[in-house]
Every structure is written in C-alpha cells, then in structure tokens.
Amino acid sequence: MTEAKPKRRTKAQQRAESLEQILDAAELLFSQRGLYGVTLKDVAQQAGVHTSLLHYYFEDKKAMFDAVFARRAAVTADLRMAALDRYAGECRGKPTVEGALRAFLDTDLDLYIQGGEGWRNFAALGAQVAMAPKWGAKLFDDHFDAVVLKLIGLLKQALPDCPEEDIFWGYHFVTGSLVMTLARTGRIDELSHGLCKSEDFPAVKARMARFLAFGFEGICRDRAEARAAAKG
C-alpha cells in the first residue's frame, strides 16, 4: 500500500500560520523590550520572515502591537466573563467577595499556569501596557471594561452597605496586585532570599483572592463603624 500524500496547506492556512508566527515573535520581543524598544526589523528577524511581509499584515508597529495584545486579551476577557457569569448563577444572588475575586483572578492566573511560555510573555506584556498612562489605558478600556464592571457589580452585591468609591478603590488595588504579579520582576525572590518566586503563579493563586477579600471587607467594615459612631 502506498502512503497517502499529506494534504497541501491552503493559501489561507499558510497565511494564518505566517501571521501566528509573526505575532508570537512580536509578543516575545515586546514582552522583553516594550513597544518602543522593538523595531519591525527585529520582529522580522525573530520570525524568520522578510520585513515586507510585516507591512502586508500591519500598517505600522503600533498596529502590530495592538494585534499582539488583542489576540490573548480577548481570550482572557471571555474566559473571565464566563467564569463570573457562572459564579453569579451558582451563588443565587448571594455572592461573596472572595468568590467573585476567585472567578476573576483565578481564571486569569490559570492561563499563566497552564498556557505555556506564550501566555507568560503576554503576562509581562500586559503589565507593561497597564503602566502606560495614555495608549495603554485605552487598550485596557477597550478589552477589559466589560469584565471589570461585571466583577464590580458582584462586589456591590456582596457588600451592599459599602460606599461605591470603596469598591472602586478596592478594584484599583486588585489590579495593582495583579499587574505586579504579571510583571515577574524578581523582587520578591530577592527580598525573600528565594523563599518566594515571581514565577510561582500557583502560589499566587492560592493566596491572592483571599488576601484581597479581607482588604475589601476590612475597609467596608471600618467605614460602617465610623458612620455608626458619627450617628451615635
């Protein structure tokens, strides 16, 4: 019997594979050097393609960066929205702060635990974008506002007597903790003399949601006690 010849890839398949190759290369470089530390020539060399191919797919470097970010941002946003929706159904209108935070944070952290180096590159890239006040904030607005507002809605349900500004400040501290974790700076490695490691996403997952839940609950409790004392 003669072996069947492998099917030739269609042009559409070849283009899709070529684009993924370029996005993977760009993601790696951007995660290491940032938007302004990478040139189109750098990406072409990393991907093993001619620079002209990059111009075929992207108007300029910023368009390429946006495409790199959007590729995985859409995945994590969709997964977290689904997790929050699922939790909202399971809790039957009685969410807890920790439960809502776990749906939001643990779902994201699982991608960095299980998704391989590509997702870890995206983690570092996301931390950079989060710290860019103008264009970075716009990318986060476009990709994550809906899922963040879903989380905030659940937190308001969990803490119905908590002032709204404290919920938003609490989320501000949540995202700050997550961004520092995703950046993997190695600082905790040095401070702890290796006891804790920036790469240890499972250790983060085991602690982060619960730790932050106590913060929300403590602030809201303190505010309630202060209001009661003022009335007293």
pTM of the model: 0.89
When pLDDT is averaged across residues 160-177 and rounded to a whole number, the result is 95
Contact 38, 29 (CB under 8 A): yes
Asked whether the predicted pLDDT for residue 109 surpasses 80, the reply is yes
Separation of first and last alpha carbons in the chain? 92
H helices within 34-106, ranges in order?
40-47, 51-57, 61-90, 97-101
What percentage of the chain carries pLDDT values higher than 90? 83
- The model's confidence at residue 76, banded by pLDDT at 50, 70 and 90, is very high
Distance CA 113, CA 105 (A): 12
CA 37 to the chain's CA centroid: 22
**Burial of residue 48 (number of CB atoms within 10 Å: 0-12, 13-18, 19+):** exposed
Asked whether the predicted pLDDT for residue 1 surpasses 70, the reply is no
Give 48's Cβ-side CA count (13 Å radius). 5
Residues 6 or more apart whose Cβ sits within 8 Å of residue 158:
95, 96, 97, 99, 100
When pLDDT is averaged across residues 37-44 and rounded to a whole number, the result is 96
Q: How many angstroms separate the Cα of 66 from the Cα of each of 48, 73, 171?
A: 21, 10, 25
When pLDDT is averaged across residues 16-27 and rounded to a whole number, the result is 93
**Residue owning tokens 């990406």:** 43
Distance CA 182, CA 33 (A): 15
Q: Which amino acid is at 110?
A: D
Residues 6 or more apart whose Cβ sits within 8 Å of residue 125:
27, 30, 31, 68, 69
- The model's confidence at residue 86, banded by pLDDT at 50, 70 and 90, is very high
